[in-house]
Structure 1
Amino acid sequence: MIEFMNVDKIYPNGTQALQNLNLKIEQGEFVAVIGLSGAGKSTLIRCINRMHDITEGQLLVDGTDITNLRGKQVRDLRRRIGMIFQSFNLVTRISVIKNVLVSFVPDNALWRNIIGLYTKQQKVKALEALDKVGILEKAYIRVDQLSGGQQQRVALARTLAQNPAIILADEPIASLDPVTSKLVMDDFKRINKEMNISVIMNIHHVEVALEYADRIIGVRAGEVVFDGPTSKVTDDILHDIYGGNKEYKTAFEENHAHVQ
């Protein structure tokens, strides 16, 4: 369970990214965070695994105030929270399975990491993770020979291999075409339901958020202006989230395309 309690985040340049944030996310939820560019969506997600530190308030993960964690405690937290990026963050010149095995580096002795030696059990886990996202047959192919969608699935497999309770996804389909986006989102949904892994996703595509997420959190200027079931999202709510900005027109059109 994740709980934001009166959370503020102010960057060193004075920008207030989050204001008085109060949220509770239960285990197994699929949550989409939507809003304008610069609204605070990425900051909200990245505070959960301490990529960004909050300025005020409390942020609890499974009852632990993560703002008090230090060193190894932060590393242990991040083992339980997988992170998927828009840019994939893969080493493209090596094989798919080697990229997935990177998830075990924090568990291994230094000498094993230096020579790239992994246990049989770790290799089996890596292959199982690739199987879960449907690209087991690509295990020994170099990453730079894969499509963008396949690379994002490798990144997802790498996260699954660490057996997370939570997956954070920061614009995971922003650079993918619609067909590939659907395949990747299907993976997220299946993993969420079958493995009871919480998915918290920052996403620009409103129609995709409405199709896949169980819950929508709308953020405007660092504040939550909507938090509720996907079924409760209306055009008026979208207008409130996007504040009449030109991005709202895109969101409005995407919503109508979804409804039709």
Structure 2
Amino acid sequence: MNIDLHAVYARHPAAPSGTSALRGVSLALRAGEQVALIGPSGAGKTTLLQVAAAALKPSRGQLLLEAVDPWSLRTAALQRLRGRLFMAPQTPPLPPRQRVITAVLAGRLPAWSLATSLRSLFYPVDIAGAHAALERFDLAEKLFARVDRLSGGERQRVGLARALLAPATLWLIDEPLSALDPTRSEQAISTVTEVARERGITLMATMHQVDTALAHFDRIVGLRDGAVAFDLPTAQVSRDHLARLYAQHEAELHGGAPVESALPPDAPQPAVMHCR
């Protein structure tokens, strides 16, 4: 799915009136492209995902999905369009008494009829599909467990497994690794990017793990204060780009820390080449 944002302003619903989380953001993703959004907390990353998901209407500017303004559509058409994308929040909204298999199969809902959806609540329609999706995240043994018996990291991986079953051509994933240890993080992001690449799915993910973003995404967009600080192929993102991106935030936290100390601790060291 193609995404185009043109000079978008948007306010987070919880923000004070008149405060914009996004300020004139212009961004374009072509079908099958994978982009990581990085930046300090409060930079507008989650708000940008909500705008791209047609869940939050811009106060100014325009969002186009496949060259269509979703906010110009009638309700039924807008719902069909939303059925073609998958939004994974940082904390998946999983009912605590629900079985994991039911939570994962919820990814299929946009493609199912009402009758199939209701039947699957009592007799899961695609057990094999749910098992295969969970297996990619090393959670197959949790297939029939209750959600309230899972750890926070397991719930996060269940939310990602749901994406594998969704009939979506756009994945919008918010902080997918926040509750995962390094080993699980590597497994999860590798699975998400590999499956998206295999299926030609457009992927936009927000991340605080800078080194992981640089290792798994071909394009990095840095957000700061609701605006695009840089939009570059990963190979062109330098230590200076990252230092400037996080400098203002770190200075505010630490009372004017120098730029060098603003670089995230997991950012890669620059490669030094000596030519003769």
Q: Smaller-chain TM-score range?
A: 0.7 to 0.9
1:109 counterpart residue number = 114
Q: For the residues of structure 1 that align with 2:204 and 2:120, how far apart are their CA atoms?
A: 35
1:254 counterpart residue number = 266
- For structure 1, which segment, 4-13 or 33-42, has the greater mean C-alpha deviation from structure 2 after superposition? 4-13
Q: How does 1:66-85 map to 2 (within 5 A)?
A: 66-85=70-89
Contact between 2:85 and 2:170, CA under 8 Å: does it hold in 1? yes
Secondary structure of the structure 2 residue equivalent to 1:4: strand
1:9 counterpart residue number = 10
Q: How does 1:19-34 map to 2 (within 5 A)?
A: 19-34=23-38
Secondary structure of the structure 2 residue equivalent to 1:254: coil
Q: For the residues of structure 2 that align with 1:81 and 1:111, how far apart are their CA atoms?
A: 20
- Cα deviation for residue 116 of structure 1 reads 2.6
Secondary structure of the structure 2 residue equivalent to 1:86: coil
Secondary structure of the structure 2 residue equivalent to 1:155: helix
Letter in 1 for 2:113: N
- Cα deviation for residue 61 of structure 1 reads 0.9
TM-score (norm 1): 0.87
Secondary structure of the structure 2 residue equivalent to 1:174: coil
Secondary structure of the structure 1 residue equivalent to 2:144: coil
Letter in 2 for 1:4: L
User: In structure 1, which of residues 205, 212, 230 is the aligned counterpart of residue 234 of structure 2?
Assistant: 230
Can you give the 5+ residue segments of structure 2 that lack an aligned partner in the other structure? Answer: 254-258
Can you give the 5+ residue segments of structure 1 that lack an aligned partner in the other structure? Answer: none
Q: How does 1:82-101 map to 2 (within 5 A)?
A: 82-101=86-105
TM-score (norm 2): 0.82
Secondary structure of the structure 1 residue equivalent to 2:87: strand
- For structure 1, which segment, 136-145 or 21-30, has the greater mean C-alpha deviation from structure 2 after superposition? 136-145
Question: Quick one: percent identity of the two aligned structures?
Answer: 34
Q: Whose helix fraction is larger, Structure 1's or Structure 2's?
A: 1
Aligned length: 259
2:256 counterpart residue number = none
User: In structure 1, which of residues 145, 161, 166 is the aligned counterpart of residue 149 of structure 2?
Assistant: 145
Secondary structure of the structure 2 residue equivalent to 1:64: coil
- Cα deviation for residue 41 of structure 1 reads 0.8
Q: For the residues of structure 1 that align with 2:62 and 2:148, how far apart are their CA atoms?
A: 41
Going from structure 1 to structure 2, the CA distance change for 1:259 and 1:186 (only over 3 Å counts) comes to farther
Q: For the residues of structure 1 that align with 2:35 and 2:41, how far apart are their CA atoms?
A: 18
Q: For the residues of structure 1 that align with 2:85 and 2:25, how far apart are their CA atoms?
A: 20
Q: For the residues of structure 1 that align with 2:6 and 2:168, how far apart are their CA atoms?
A: 23
Going from structure 1 to structure 2, the CA distance change for 1:208 and 1:118 (only over 3 Å counts) comes to same
Contact between 1:235 and 1:252, CA under 8 Å: does it hold in 2? no
Contact between 1:101 and 1:126, CA under 8 Å: does it hold in 2? yes
- Cα deviation for residue 115 of structure 1 reads 8.6
Secondary structure of the structure 2 residue equivalent to 1:8: strand
2:42 counterpart residue number = 38
Contact between 2:243 and 2:262, CA under 8 Å: does it hold in 1? no
Q: For the residues of structure 2 that align with 1:206 and 1:91, how far apart are their CA atoms?
A: 31
